[in-house]
Homo-oligomer: A and B are copies of this chain.
Amino acid sequence: MEQRISLVTLGVADLPRSRAFYEQLGWRGQEVEETVFFQAGGLALVLWGRAKLAADAGVDDAGGDGFGGMTLAQNVRSRGEVDELMATAAAAGAAVTQPARETFYGGYAGCFADPDGHVWEIAWNPGFPLGPDGALTLPDFGATG
């Protein structure tokens, strides 16, 4: 299996509401067959009805609307960008779950939840270089294994 992700799909309760939320953050997507696709670097972020997503995956959905055990992050280039983006998200109706703060790894980050509770962290991490297009390259941690 190659080390790459092609799609990240967020199950949503109300597609127009979720699309409007991401558009307020500045994202622009395409809607087709009750699915919204956003190009995000070399992959796509997809919004799709949660029940359809569960059925398509062949899994039961207990209907939890809390923490799903998987989070997304966008790393930015400065502390100021973290503050700006957290403010944009709050203005768009996000729940700020973790106000921006200094992190244990010497960075600065905050978290918000989208209308369905999907968590995004917005982080400035000086140890994780970003390319001109925003692509992230992990450093060599010097780990043995």
Q: How far is the CA of A117 from the CA of B57 in the complex (A)?
A: 11
Residues of chain A at the chain B interface (Cβ within 8 Å): 1-11, 25-28, 30-32, 37-45, 50, 53-54, 56-62, 64, 66-75, 85, 88-89, 97-98, 111, 113, 116-119, 121, 123, 128, 130-131, 133-138, 140-141, 143, 145
Are A6 and B136 closer than 8 Å at their CB atoms?
yes
Q: How far is the CA of A32 from the CA of B128 in the complex (A)?
A: 14
Are B57 and A67 closer than 8 Å at their CB atoms?
yes
Q: Cβ of A138: which chain B residues have Cβ within 8 Å of it?
A: 30, 37, 39, 44
Closest Cβ of chain B to A109, distance in Å, is 9
Are B39 and A74 closer than 8 Å at their CB atoms?
no
Are A39 and B143 closer than 8 Å at their CB atoms?
no
Are A41 and B4 closer than 8 Å at their CB atoms?
yes
Are B5 and A73 closer than 8 Å at their CB atoms?
yes
Are B4 and A74 closer than 8 Å at their CB atoms?
yes
Contact of A64 among B64, B74, B121, B135 (CB under 8 A): B64
